[in-house]
């Protein structure tokens, strides 16, 4: 990927004003799982911590925490036998995952491409994540100008699936949430974006994506492109998963 994010501005001639009017006011991106393939980092950190206390922790256990607020994940680990304060568990997990992300940002190639296309079209982007600011900063260090707004899990009162983080992102951008498209992959994240009123695109990664009225579900972001974002923003529902997936 070689796009220069500093050149992705609303004056980009690729999408003239006549075509920009029906684009979403903003695209709101989840981080873990959606933009970067960091869930293996989280599960490895959880497993490492669990083993220190003789607690069995499986890959399936890790999947149950995908998209959840970090204090909730830490409370579950504590309940399973990790004898540490919730705050200390959160700090341990963040430190481990941030260390890995600083070494290598595991971009989801389909999401990275769509992010580049979105910026080239002059559409503002926000990052809406339950990861804390230190991890969001580590993940976005290679794309410093990509996100006009970042909302992290340590600055909201109610984590996903509550819509607070998405509503805050729209407020900071100065746009109506109903005019935004949100992209998510986890049940909690999808629930938050959907409840906020944003047009929501659910991309299937590690966990099932249940159908909801008006929810777009895709197997990949590769084929979506700017035209797909425009269609979703206008109310078109795309469903590549069928029933019961």
51-64 tens-digit pLDDT: 999 999 999 999 88
Is there a single domain that holds both residue 229 and residue 129? yes
**Cis peptide, bond prior to residue 161, ω within 30 of zero:** yes
- Quick one: pLDDT at residue 66? 85
> What confidence tier does 216 reach under pLDDT thresholds 50, 70, 90?
very high
3-state helix, strand, coil in the chain (%, to 5): 45, 10, 45
State how far Cα 216 lies from the chain centre: 15
Is there a single domain that holds both residue 22 and residue 54? no
Q: Indicate the residue among 82, 103, 124 that finishes a domain.
A: 103
Q: Is 239 a member of any domain?
A: no
Is the pLDDT at 1 greater than 80? The verdict is no
Q: Is 240 a member of any domain?
A: no
Interval 77-98 mean pLDDT: 95
CA distance 155 to 136: 12
The CATH number given to whatever domain includes residue 129 is 3.40.50.1000
- Quick one: pLDDT at residue 12? 39
Is there a single domain that holds both residue 28 and residue 132? yes
In this structure, the dihedral spanned by the alpha carbons of residues 205, 206, 207 and 208, taken in order and rounded to 10 degrees, is: 50
Range of the domain at 21: 5-37+107-233
Is there a single domain that holds both residue 78 and residue 172? no
């Amino acid at each position: 990927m070689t796009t220069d994010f500093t050149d992705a501005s609303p004056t980009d001639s690729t999408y003239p004003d006549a075509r920009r009017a029906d684009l979403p006011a903003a695209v709101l991106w989840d981080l873990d799982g959606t933009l970067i393939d960091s869930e293996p980092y989280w599960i490895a950190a959880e497993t490492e911590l669990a083993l220190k206390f003789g607690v069995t922790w499986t890959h399936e256990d890790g999947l149950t925490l995908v998209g959840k607020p970090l204090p909730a994940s830490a409370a579950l680990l504590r309940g399973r036998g990790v004898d540490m304060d919730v705050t200390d568990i959160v700090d341990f997990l963040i430190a481990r995952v941030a260390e890995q992300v600083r070494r290598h940002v595991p971009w989801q190639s389909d999401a990275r491409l769509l992010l580049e296309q979105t910026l080239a079209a002059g559409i503002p982007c926000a990052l809406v994540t339950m990861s804390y600011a230190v991890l969001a900063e580590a993940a976005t260090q290679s794309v410093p100008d990509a996100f006009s707004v970042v909302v992290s899990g340590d600055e909201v009162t109610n984590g996903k699936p509550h819509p607070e983080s998405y509503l805050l992102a729209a407020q900071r951008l100065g746009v109506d949430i109903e005019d935004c498209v949100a992209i998510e992959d986890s049940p909690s994240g999808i629930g938050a974006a959907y409840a906020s009123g944003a047009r929501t695109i659910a991309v299937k990664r590690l966990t099932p994506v249940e159908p909801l009225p008006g929810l777009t579900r895709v197997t990949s972001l590769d084929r979506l492109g700017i035209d797909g974002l425009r269609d979703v923003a206008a109310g078109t529902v795309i469903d590549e998963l069928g029933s019961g997936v």
